[in-house]
Amino acid sequence: MEVHKHSIIAVWFSCGSASAVASKLIMEKYGDTCEIRILNNPVVEEHEDNLRFLKDVQEWLDHPIESVVNPEYPSASAVDVWARKKYMSGVTGASCTLQLKKKARQHWENNNYVDWHVLGFTSEEVKRHERFVLTERDNVIPILIEQNYSKQDCYDRLLRDGIDPPAIYKLGYPNANCIGCVKATSPTYWNHVRSVHPDVFEQRAVQSREIGARLARHKGKRIFLDELPSDAIGRPMKNLDFECGIFCEEIK
């Protein structure tokens, strides 16, 4: 892989620690020789502190972060997507990721030329990066993998540089996705949402029941959120593996 001078590099910043550090490393390595576009797909259902984090990262990078929205969903709301599509998440992925991430990115690409893409794949995610290259596109710079940055390394780098990570991590969530991410099926995750954000849990429970989406998995069976016992426990959340990027996978 050779990145030539004057290449245009699109960095997809998701308001998580990994994509923030990927943006920083790209700026350090290629900022003087290439055109860097740092792009964010805003989603209304993310924690409100994500916007503060985005502004802090923008100042840290001394570089603008551009907003990329699917024009079919100017509200950038996952709830609106689920209501219109009558589909939340399943074997084909999540409708919110498709509409607010993938299609937003595709719309941007149709109107902007780019040589390389950068995502927040960390050193633990080599297989995910390889799968993305095989199934989506091969013009990806795996900057975090190249420099052997783990998820924890990214978090630590932010702290060392005086950047307060998104508040959602401090609330016990495994990533900076939307609160009540419909790609999750773990009872551990959903009961955490019920405990920390009971209003969001209730909203997801009501809407998923209306749509017919069984979001949780308990004792090997998919169930509605309003059927989930409040004491149900699955895998520890720190081991859950779902991320809302420009790809989408169902998590079991």
Domain that holds residue 172: 8-239
Condensed to tens digits (0 to 9), the pLDDT of residues 86-134 reads 999 988 789 999 999 999 999 999 999 999 999 999 999 999 999 999 9
- Does residue 1 sit within a domain? no
**Is the residue at 174 inside a domain?**
yes
Residue type at 214 in one-letter notation: R
In a domain, 112, yes or no: yes
Q: Which residues pair with 116 in a beta bridge?
A: 9
Give the predicted TM-score (pTM) of the model: 0.89
Q: pLDDT for 38-56, tens place per residue?
A: 999 999 999 999 999 999 9
Predicted local confidence at residue 137, as pLDDT:
86
Listed as ranges, residues in the chain with pLDDT below 50 are 239-241, 247-252
Give CA separation, 64 vs 20, 186, 189, 206, in Å: 13, 36, 34, 38
Domain membership of residue 146 (yes or no) is yes
- What is the rounded CA–CA span in Å between residue 16 and residue 81? 22
Residue 78 covered by a domain:
yes
Write down the pLDDT at residue 239. Answer: 47
Residue 246 covered by a domain: no
Rounded Cα distance between 160 and 187, Å, is 34
Q: Is residue 251 part of a domain?
A: no
Q: Which residues pair with 117 in a beta bridge?
A: 10, 140
Could you tell me the CATH number of the domain that includes residue 49? 3.40.50.620
State how many domains the chain has: 1
User: What residue type is assigned to position 221 of the chain?
Assistant: K
Residue 168 lies in a domain: yes
